[in-house]
Chain A
């Protein structure tokens, strides 16, 4: 049994509860032991553009506490995963900054240590649980449903640090979906940005970016989409109404799931155990095809 510190970041516990609920219910059934990590704060990623040292400090703090616990980190959020791994890389190469951060952490009695492994949900599912094991546990195959994987940009980029999908394409993601019995495939801009980072200051442009993705998915015959990033989820799922209004296209509607929710459905969990009642997109379309009621 593999054991991980469950690092939630800040978006999941404040507005994307379904990801946490589904992860906590699904992963242990796949042989993954999750250990709570209450000492961890925000990874600092939103500070990146305005205060580099602040960002490095916040991620370094999380890494150091985890290193002391001697367990690898499971980051559910694409942004947290990128931030922690990028900081490992920065600390390794920048001696001056490393010393400064070590001094800042020492005030809190923390010893700087970034020798800790960081993994993302997709890696835990694909590399630790494994495709064969997932296949063996499927009791409710997602047969006949064409699902668009939407990795989100940080699953693939930046390429100078190890990414969950090192090939530059969501290959692991699609192989997990295939293992659940779903149909997968190509659509344009699969690896593009959802627009979430633009949302605070230019919602119009952010919505347009998401609209392109949903339109491409629909044009290429997908009936649902899935992601593993709380930001992408927010754009694709929660903002569908706003997006339709912004671009004036009523057809832009698609059920959106977290990958953990789809795995949970396929291995027989109830929608409530997966937080599916919290999804704002029309997930019922898919649940009906599986013969499942959202109220179960």
Chain B
């Protein structure tokens, strides 16, 4: 395109621009610049007549560059690119000049200088426009399948929604059963319905869904490829039971003499060495824990293999690996509770009768270690005074700064557990604030507050001490009544802070997802795109994006699934226009670009006996880090080439003549 023909359009933006400068004068100035064929001003360029004006000029004057001096390109660049497209021009032959945010809005007091600045900016754009060229994007097909990592309520909901939209879903769960934290809960707030009763039907739906394949007792160990075409390696940990033969009859579990602490019951009870995670486990298949199995530790027993009617026990089983090809990944790995032993002053781990809220859930559960009886762990006695401590580790600069977002409502629920199990018990709720923000939470709060012998004290315990009988003594300053209260409690329940799971950090590095100061996955936009990550094709569901209660988790997971479905059903991924591109003649293959690329989009490859950089056009997001780093100028970025930027800068440096 040697014959450059530029059209310049100055917008009044009502009085936003024209109230400060005279657009007609800028247009007149522009008309005299080199290569400019036509220059006009108009009241609202973005309006339908404004757009038609440009479209007609392109055809009439055979324009091949268009400059629109108006608002920020963030506002209307796509609008005017569409105009170029309609007129048969490549949209990247458009150059926006921001004379509103960058000029008239900020230089209202000096209109003369503002007009001068507008002229200079337009002149620079005209110089730059000479070097614009047509840019085309590439498309790559999307594999219509998804990986969901984590089988808690978020993963379950996301998997079901994806599968119902006709997408093949692989659900990976590190434990032997799906269900996650929600399966450990006795009831859910504020409605107090049984947690498992609403969860287990969904677990069964997942297991039965023709589009869902569950990989339980498995972990993601490698991720490569890019959005639309990920290659994922899954490790199937050895269960020592051939699940394809096993019928889930449970005879092995019944006869096993081994004994191990029960992780599902938060260490409160015991399970066997071969075990189901819990009664309603899905898949209902047992696992041998070699740390406690007598065959693995002492070389004796083998009772399970003797009693198994189908010969499914396999002590020689090794870990296996499966490779999957998916278009999208939904991360739903949930949360862990903060290690309460780090709060030395509360004595958790040291005093038996200081427990976490999650442990109280297990005590309250009819299927739990005490069959639903709430007792002191030191002597099995019914507690007559229970202190529930909110914000244990949360909103605390020494521990976790953020709010756990469900501790308040959980504490109210825990008051109910105690009053239901021990009606004459006295319950003290030691709170900082009660944040009853969700639907129905405030009503629930008011109800709990009205019960007899339930006291809300605004303060945290100082230091908790244990008396000889296992009771706990502490002082708490109640800032509502300005009193120091001496408390003697039978049981202390800590509503613990929430942190990302320990295995998140290695997985996060595999997925190349950023994290927030708390370590949770960083969403693409905190308000508008909370389900997406900076890594294309990787979506977030539930608490891994930040602490959430069940309703919010489910909403978040369903939304993540919807966004993922949109991405997968579109059928292709498109490269960004402002891609990095290599001039192979100049490239020395030094690899500096590889080290700065945040998207793993650049590789160094052999070409005709030389090492040169190669850009994966689908992975490249056009950030420009490589182009800025390249020592030889071999790496350039479309629409931001050195020539384009420098022509603009040198015009500005020389002033508008």
Contact = CB atoms under 8 A, between A and B. Distances in A.
B466 interface: yes
Contacts of B350: 186
A188 B467 contact: yes
Contact of A188 (B344, B345, B465): B465
Nearest to A191: B463
Nearest to B462: A192
A188 B398 contact: no
A192 B398 CA distance: 19
Given A167-B344, A189-B463, A159 B398 contact: yes
A220 B468 CA distance: 7
Nearest to A160: B398
Nearest to A190: B465
A167 B468 CA distance: 23
Interface in B341-374: 344-345, 350
A168 B465 contact: no
B344 A189 contact: no
Interface string B468-483: 1000010000000000
A174 to B, nearest CB: 13
A261 to B, nearest CB: 28
Given A167-B344, A168-B345, A169-B344, A186 B466 contact: yes
Contacts of B345: 168
Interface residues of B, number: 10
A157 to B, nearest CB: 10
A94 interface: no
Contacts of B344: 167-169
A296 interface: no
B468 A192 contact: no
Contacts of B468: 219-220
A192 B463 contact: yes
Contacts of B463: 189, 191-192
Contacts of A219: 468
Given A167-B344, A168-B344, A168-B345, A189 B398 contact: no
B353 to A, nearest CB: 14
A172 to B, nearest CB: 14
Nearest to A167: B344
Contacts of B467: 188
A219 B465 CA distance: 13
A220 B465 CA distance: 12
Interface in A41-88: none
Contacts of B465: 188-189
Contacts of A191: 463
Interface in A171-191: 186, 188-189, 191
Interface string B483-525: 0000000000000000000000000000000000000000000
A169 B468 CA distance: 19
Report which residue of B345, B350, B468 has the largest number of chain A beta carbons within 10 angstroms of its beta carbon. B468
Interface in A200-226: 219-220
B354 to A, nearest CB: 13
Contact of B466 (A167, A188, A192): A188
A202 B85 CA distance: 84
Nearest to A186: B466
A139 to B, nearest CB: 34
A259 B473 CA distance: 29
B344 to A, nearest CB: 3
B111 to A, nearest CB: 44
Most buried by A among B344, B345, B398: B344
A188 B351 CA distance: 11
A215 to B, nearest CB: 12
Contacts of B466: 186, 188
Contacts of B473: 188
A160 to B, nearest CB: 8
A187 to B, nearest CB: 8
Interface string B332-346: 000000000000110
A191 B465 CA distance: 10
A168 B350 CA distance: 13
Interface in B308-328: none
Contacts of A220: 468
Nearest to B397: A160
A159 to B, nearest CB: 7
Contacts of A188: 465-467, 473
Contacts of A167: 344
Contacts of A169: 344
Nearest to A188: B465
Interface in A122-154: none
Nearest to B472: A188
Interface in B428-485: 463, 465-468, 473
B378 to A, nearest CB: 14
A159 B397 CA distance: 12
Nearest to B464: A188
Nearest to A220: B468
A168 B349 CA distance: 14
Nearest to B351: A186
Contacts of A189: 463, 465
Contacts of A192: 463
A282 to B, nearest CB: 24
A189 B468 CA distance: 13
B346 to A, nearest CB: 11
A189 B463 CA distance: 8
Interface string B607-620: 00000000000000
A132 to B, nearest CB: 26
A33 B416 CA distance: 63
A159 B398 CA distance: 9
A48 B127 CA distance: 66
A192 B468 CA distance: 18
B480 to A, nearest CB: 24
A70 to B, nearest CB: 35
A150 B345 CA distance: 16
A256 B466 CA distance: 23
Give the interface centre of A186, A188, A189, A220 by most chain B CB atoms within 10 Å.
Answer: A188
A220 B473 CA distance: 15
Contacts of A159: 398
Nearest to A168: B344
B507 to A, nearest CB: 31
B91 to A, nearest CB: 53
Contacts of A186: 350, 466
A161 to B, nearest CB: 13
17 contacts: A159-B398, A167-B344, A168-B344, A168-B345, A169-B344, A186-B350, A186-B466, A188-B465, A188-B466, A188-B467, A188-B473, A189-B463, A189-B465, A191-B463, A192-B463, A219-B468, A220-B468
Interface of A: 159, 167-169, 186, 188-189, 191-192, 219-220
Given A168-B344, A189-B465, 11 more contacts: A159-B398, A167-B344, A168-B345, A186-B350, A186-B466, A188-B467, A188-B473, A189-B463, A191-B463, A192-B463, A220-B468
The 6 A-B pairs of least Cβ separation, nearest first, read: A188-B465, A168-B344, A189-B465, A169-B344, A188-B473, A159-B398
